[in-house]
Amino acid sequence: MRLRRTVRGEFDLIDRLVSRLPAGDGVTVGPGDDAAVLRPSPDRELVATTDTFVEGVHWDAAWMDAEAMGARLAAANLSDLAAMAATPRWALVSLGVGASPVPETLEATQRGLARALAKHGAAIVGGNVTRTRGAAWWSVTLLGEVAKGAAWTRFGARPGDLLAVTGRPGRAGAA
How far, CA to CA in Å, does 102 sit from each of 26, 77, 78, 105, 169? 32, 25, 27, 5, 34
Dihedral angle, C-alpha 106, 112, 113, 119, nearest 10 °? 160
Find the CATH number of the domain harbouring 119. Answer: 3.30.1330.10
* Domain span including residue 30: 10-141
User: How far is 61 from 171, CA to CA, in rounded Å?
Assistant: 19
- Is residue 67 included in any domain, yes or no? yes
* Full pLDDT tens readout for the chain, 175 residues: 333 444 455 556 556 565 565 566 776 666 667 777 778 889 999 999 999 999 999 889 889 999 999 999 999 999 999 999 999 999 999 999 987 778 889 999 999 999 999 999 999 999 998 989 999 999 999 999 999 999 998 888 889 988 777 777 766 554 4
- Is residue 49 included in any domain, yes or no? yes
List all residues 6 or more positions away from 54 whose beta carbon is below 8 Å from its beta carbon: 135, 136, 137
Q: pTM score, two decimals?
A: 0.79
- Is residue 95 included in any domain, yes or no? yes
Number of domains in the chain: 1
Percentages of the chain per state (helix, strand, coil), in multiples of 5: 25, 30, 45
- Is residue 93 included in any domain, yes or no? yes
Residues 35, 29: contact at Cβ < 8 Å? yes
- Is residue 129 included in any domain, yes or no? yes
In sequence order, the β-bridge partners of residue 48 are 143
- Is residue 79 included in any domain, yes or no? yes
- Is residue 102 included in any domain, yes or no? yes
- Is residue 150 included in any domain, yes or no? no
